[in-house]
Structure 1
Amino acid sequence: MLKPTIGPLVGHITTDHARLFIRGEIQKDLQVFAGVRYRISGSPHWIKSVFAKLSESRDMSAVITLNHLREDTEYEYQTGWFCPMSPVHTVDSVAELPLQWPREIYRLRTRCNQPLQARAYIIGSCRYLRLTAGIAVLPQLGDRIFASISQLIEGRQPPVSALLMTGDQVYLDDLNLIAPDREYTDMLAKYRAAFSQPNIKRLMSSTSTYMILDDHEIEDNWPAHAEAGDNTLYNNAIKAYELYQASHSPAFSLTTNGQVDHATLKHYWYQFSDGDLEWFVTDSRTRRTLSADDRRILDEEQEQVLLKWLVNSPARVKFVVTSVMFYPDRKSHGDDAWKAFPEQRLRLLETIRTHRIKNVIFVSGDVHGSLTSRLTHSEDLDFDIHTIVSSPLCNSKLLPYASESTFILDQPLAQTAAGDYRHELTSKVVSQDNFAHVVVEAQQIRVNYHDRDGDLLQTIDIPLR
């Protein structure tokens, strides 16, 4: 067996289930299979081997699921791909072959349902990796920060439950004015380059990773800048996104035999839980309505599901991920974010306020600057929400960093007959490459921002109620 060309990438994990993304390589006129075998860490015996047939239609990739796992347990696994000599093999028959597995052993941990247990996450967005003629230019710049993340979380308590990548994991339009990617093969090449760098591979091979797209997975400021004839560009970009980012997420349901059901994807937004914490990862990019009479950044179905979840979920802390900023608003170039959809934003805020929902945290990226901010209400002292913004993981030299002067901070976010929504920064604005290490404790959320070398920039404590 050969090592995966991309991956293994650990995706969605529950108390008894894990998803692993693996890519092999095309072998002309030969069948190609990928396999995973796993065991409880320290055990001398492998529990089971699971195989998948790879096809060119999925860029020789597969998501293999591990089922019936033990809660809060560390597992070891090995993985690779191979071509059997016989052309009639199936995923069942290859399990009987005497395979030589790649020597490297990876580890993952299943979720724990215990309430009030401290949990940690890494949050980041906007990872620029420039390609020229399909080759990464100075790839160590776009990969450097992931080595720092791995070093930070190794042996750290509480262990990191997941890596949240909240948009612009790739820049398909990095040379948008000269030669934007429009062809599917070019987009696949960019994903392969982005996810095959050594440091990000190491991190994602052992850390549950959740992703959601933003505009650069399609085109800058999509769909506001869409032109006639862009349907092909969009369809190709979305097909690549589904393959490399959505495939290992909860957006895909499982078949009756516990494998990912590729035929049932209905939308890109999804939910997942981690003990008494819950996450709602919105799609604030592909379901927009830009008509003047009914502007929406989330489609009606997604909004209704989100509101119902906010009201009815018993989660102790509710994280809402939106790739573009919920607040504060930017002074310029803010029409790509929630600033341009004030009615829908106000509906969410009024739902949280009138139902007295506590401990709602909005998580986003996009602006190439990191910050935390608090939102209150002039007449309702019980209303209190926070935002955590983390961006960028790696900036382009062509793009500026955000600073405090970027944002509108001297006027209410929204004004209603019932009172004003007022916001204030609770941190400095980080204007360099960085990531957030977020620790949720019983009484507070601690947000630690680190630079690309892993050095601590600032710490902010958000009290829980």
Structure 2
Amino acid sequence: MSLVLGPVLRHVGDTTAQVWVQTESAGTVEILGCSATTFEVQGFHYAIVAVAGLEPDTATEYQVHLDGVRAWPEPDSPFPPSVIKTRGPSSVDRHRVIFGSCRYPKTGDAKIDDKLGLDALDCYADRLTHLPVAEWPDALILLGDQVYADELTPEVRRHLAGRRRNRHGQRPPDEVVSFSEYEGLYRHSWGDPEIRWILSTLPTAMIFDDHDIRDDWNTSAVWRAEINEKPWWRDRIRAGLASYWVYQHLGNLSPTELADDPDYRRVRDAGGDSWPHLAELADRADSEVDGDKGLRFSFRWDLGRSRFIMVDSRNARILDSGERMMLGEREFGWLEDQLGDVTELDHVVLGSSLPWLLPPAIGDVQTVNEIAANRSGLRGSLAEKVRQAADLEHWAAFMKSFLRLTELIVAVASEPANGPATVTVLSGDVHHSYAARAEVPGRHTARIHQLVCSPVHNYVPGFVKPVFKLGWSPRAARLTRRWARRRGSPELPISWRNLNGPLFGNTIAALNLQGRRAEVVFEQPRGSGELVEVARIPLTDYN
């Protein structure tokens, strides 16, 4: 029995932690005296060990034993020991959270890797090896595109071509379809030594975006109808959602939440291959029933006096019913419940893979496109083609949901003086980074921001840069807002402006929270492999 992937440190509390592993065969995984038996999915084996009995405010080194034999750390590892750093009274109001999205793996092809540039998360891992544990961040938040199931590396393409040679055209040679093929993607992306080590020692929260499944996933009802006609799609969506549940979702849950989860209990106790349960789970997650999805992937972490709520803005979409919502009613109700009592909190942070606040001119373009695509005839068909070609499917293209989320954020920001000092939305996806401040008419206690960090490791096409620069132009924003209003867009309850950026290139960001103060720092790798600060923006101490 050997370790294939992991350990990945996931949810961490004051005295508990969740550690995820993938093993080569079935067996028992033990960490710090706590153990779990593996479960099986199509011949692959996984476990989540709920570590208990830790002391608050401590950093505890740990090892992974498989059937009693040490499997981690690996012999002669150049990295420091993996640790579990718990929270507690001394850190209740002081946190550093690093975040980013869109990390394409190294390919081994020099031409492609040179084009991609240095991996910002790799560089951050290297930095941590030279810092004392006390200076390490409290959490890592990955905001989508952890794997690229639709933009395959040359190695994966060659592998799929060999597997598909005798499939008689039933499955395309350049599409990931099966769970085993997704397993290969995760092993490639997470097997990088620096990435594997940093995931073993920083509590990591994850939410997916489109490339984890397929580009433009759930863009519109038309897109869903078209993709569902493809004979291989049902296998693809089952594999994609089931692998996300195994590799990413389970670790987002606390030990109590995981123990109470009926799907996890069914899979854990299957006594053999649990794929039939996961296939049913994936079908339920993908289907719309009474205006809602059958599974919620959104989740919440509390770090002392700060609350982090990660919102699923991809799979939770409601499209088939004609309502066109980013979140169904039940999911929106859950979000409202998480924000229902925020008194005594210093900071509220929402995570959405897709930005809530885009460059204003681009947001207006998406809103106008939604209005046009809702029309019948040639105009509606043309607008739908433009929507899919130009990726016009962010919150601004779901105007009903945009307004509802905006009203919710403004309500939280309007809490009395003992409410939060900031309400912040973290996002990725758009291959440029920025910090935007929302302006709300009237008096509001909390500062409201949109922070975007993208990509961590990916190529930024040259044409993107002038488009996004123009999107932030105040003059362009005034013109597009008038245009959108004439086309039927409602009046927006807020306005927003860019505090810094747009920043292009591979980037990692840190949200620093101390008491009721907050700031964001953007860093980028340079030729030496070191990270260089490119922007530091206060989120509270300005007029």
> 1:170 aligned to 2:137?
no
Secondary structure class of the residue paired with 1:393: coil
Alignment counterpart, residue 148 of structure 1, candidates 95, 120, 123:
123
Describe the superposition over 1:6-39 as per-residue Cα deviations: whole angstroms up to 9, x where unpaired: 111101111121111111214xxxxx3242332x
Q: Is the alpha carbon distance of 1:123 and 1:354 closer, same or farther for their aligned partners in structure 2, counting shifts above 3 Å?
A: closer
Q: Is the 8 A contact 2:138 2:202 kept in 1?
A: yes
Please list, as runs of the form range in 1=range in 2, the aligned pairs for 1:2-401 lying within 5 A after superposition. 2=2, 4-26=3-25, 32-38=26-32, 48-57=33-42, 59-82=44-67, 99=69, 102=72, 104=74, 105-114=81-90, 117-129=93-105, 144-153=119-128, 154-155=131-132, 159-175=136-152, 179-224=174-219, 225-226=223-224, 227=227, 228-229=229-230, 230-250=233-253, 253-255=257-259, 261=265, 266-290=295-319, 294-314=323-343, 315-329=345-359, 330=362, 331=365, 333=390, 335-354=392-411, 356-357=414-415, 358=420, 359-380=422-443, 384-396=447-459
Q: Is the 8 A contact 1:284 1:298 kept in 2?
A: yes
Task: For residue 205 of structure 1, report the CA deviation from its aligned partner.
Answer: 0.8
Q: Distance in 1 between matches of 2:297 and 2:400?
A: 23
Task: For residue 420 of structure 1, report the CA deviation from its aligned partner.
Answer: 4.3
Task: For residue 170 of structure 1, report the CA deviation from its aligned partner.
Answer: 0.6
Q: Distance in 2 between matches of 1:397 and 1:351?
A: 33
Q: Is the 8 A contact 2:27 2:66 kept in 1?
A: yes
Q: Is the alpha carbon distance of 1:146 and 1:239 closer, same or farther for their aligned partners in structure 2, counting shifts above 3 Å?
A: same
Q: Distance in 1 between matches of 2:522 and 2:114?
A: 23
Q: Which has the higher helix share?
A: 2
Task: For residue 106 of structure 1, report the CA deviation from its aligned partner.
Answer: 2.0
Q: Is the alpha carbon distance of 1:256 and 1:324 closer, same or farther for their aligned partners in structure 2, counting shifts above 3 Å?
A: closer
Q: Is the 8 A contact 2:149 2:182 kept in 1?
A: yes
Q: Is the 8 A contact 2:118 2:506 kept in 1?
A: no
Q: Distance in 2 between matches of 1:16 and 1:262?
A: 27
Q: Distance in 2 between matches of 1:107 and 1:23?
A: 19
Secondary structure class of the residue paired with 2:531: coil
2:374 corresponds in structure 1 to: none
Describe the superposition over 1:78-119 as per-residue Cα deviations: whole angstroms up to 9, x where unpaired: 11435xxxxxxxxxxxxxx6x456565421111224576321
Task: For residue 342 of structure 1, report the CA deviation from its aligned partner.
Answer: 1.4
2:379 corresponds in structure 1 to: none
**Coordinate RMSD, CA, aligned:** 3.5
Q: Distance in 1 between matches of 2:266 and 2:135?
A: 34
Query: Which amino acid in the other structure matches residue 146 of structure 2?
Result: Q
Q: Quick check: 446-455 or 385-394, which moved more?
A: 446-455
Q: Distance in 2 between matches of 1:103 and 1:407?
A: 47
Length-normalised TM-score, structure 2? 0.71
Secondary structure class of the residue paired with 1:306: helix
Q: Quick check: 385-394 or 448-457, which moved more?
A: 448-457
Query: Which amino acid in the other structure matches residue 536 of structure 2?
Result: T
Task: For residue 328 of structure 1, report the CA deviation from its aligned partner.
Answer: 2.0
> 1:463 aligned to 2:543?
no
Query: Which amino acid in the other structure matches residue 55 of structure 2?
Result: R
Q: Distance in 2 between matches of 1:80 and 1:274?
A: 29
> 1:445 aligned to 2:503?
no
Q: Is the 8 A contact 1:36 1:77 kept in 2?
A: no
Instruction: In structure 2, list runs of 5 or more residues that go unmatched.
Output: 75-80, 158-171, 269-280, 282-294, 367-389
Task: For residue 398 of structure 1, report the CA deviation from its aligned partner.
Answer: 6.3
Q: Distance in 2 between matches of 1:212 and 1:354?
A: 25
Q: Quick check: 286-295 or 164-173, which moved more?
A: 286-295
Task: For residue 269 of structure 1, report the CA deviation from its aligned partner.
Answer: 0.6
Q: Distance in 2 between matches of 1:326 and 1:182?
A: 31
Secondary structure class of the residue paired with 1:171: coil
Describe the superposition over 1:382-401 as per-residue Cα deviations: whole angstroms up to 9, x where unpaired: 57410110110111476865
Q: Distance in 2 between matches of 1:15 and 1:162?
A: 14
Q: Is the alpha carbon distance of 1:76 and 1:245 closer, same or farther for their aligned partners in structure 2, counting shifts above 3 Å?
A: same
Length-normalised TM-score, structure 1? 0.82
Query: Which amino acid in the other structure matches residue 77 of structure 1?
Result: Y
Task: For residue 352 of structure 1, report the CA deviation from its aligned partner.
Answer: 3.4
Task: For residue 366 of structure 1, report the CA deviation from its aligned partner.
Answer: 0.3
Q: Distance in 1 between matches of 2:460 and 2:411?
A: 44
Q: Distance in 1 between matches of 2:402 and 2:254?
A: 24
Task: For residue 255 of structure 1, report the CA deviation from its aligned partner.
Answer: 2.5
Task: For residue 442 of structure 1, report the CA deviation from its aligned partner.
Answer: 1.9
Secondary structure class of the residue paired with 1:328: coil
Q: Quick check: 181-190 or 57-66, which moved more?
A: 57-66
Q: How many residues align?
A: 432
Q: Distance in 1 between matches of 2:180 and 2:27?
A: 22
Alignment counterpart, residue 470 of structure 2, candidates 405, 427, 448:
405
Q: Is the alpha carbon distance of 1:100 and 1:386 closer, same or farther for their aligned partners in structure 2, counting shifts above 3 Å?
A: closer
Task: For residue 404 of structure 1, report the CA deviation from its aligned partner.
Answer: 2.4
Task: For residue 350 of structure 1, report the CA deviation from its aligned partner.
Answer: 2.1
Q: Is the 8 A contact 2:28 2:38 kept in 1?
A: yes
Secondary structure class of the residue paired with 2:410: helix
Q: Distance in 2 between matches of 1:454 and 1:322?
A: 25
Task: For residue 214 of structure 1, report the CA deviation from its aligned partner.
Answer: 0.4
Q: Distance in 1 between matches of 2:201 and 2:313?
A: 28
Secondary structure class of the residue paired with 2:201: coil
Describe the superposition over 1:314-353 as per-residue Cα deviations: whole angstroms up to 9, x where unpaired: 3221111011110024357462210111122212222333
Secondary structure class of the residue paired with 1:296: coil
Secondary structure class of the residue paired with 2:323: coil
Q: Is the 8 A contact 1:164 1:211 kept in 2?
A: yes
Q: Distance in 2 between matches of 1:442 and 1:429?
A: 28
Describe the superposition over 1:111-147 as per-residue Cα deviations: whole angstroms up to 9, x where unpaired: 22457632101101001126699xxx75996884333
Q: Percent identity?
A: 21
1:44 corresponds in structure 2 to: none
Query: Which amino acid in the other structure matches residue 254 of structure 1?
Result: L
Query: Which amino acid in the other structure matches residue 294 of structure 1?
Result: E
Q: Quick check: 341-350 or 233-242, which moved more?
A: 341-350
Q: Is the 8 A contact 1:251 1:269 kept in 2?
A: no
Query: Which amino acid in the other structure matches residue 340 of structure 1?
Result: A
Q: Is the 8 A contact 2:14 2:56 kept in 1?
A: yes
Query: Which amino acid in the other structure matches residue 361 of structure 1?
Result: T
Q: Distance in 2 between matches of 1:399 and 1:156?
A: 39
Q: Distance in 1 between matches of 2:43 and 2:97?
A: 30
Q: Is the alpha carbon distance of 1:406 and 1:353 closer, same or farther for their aligned partners in structure 2, counting shifts above 3 Å?
A: closer
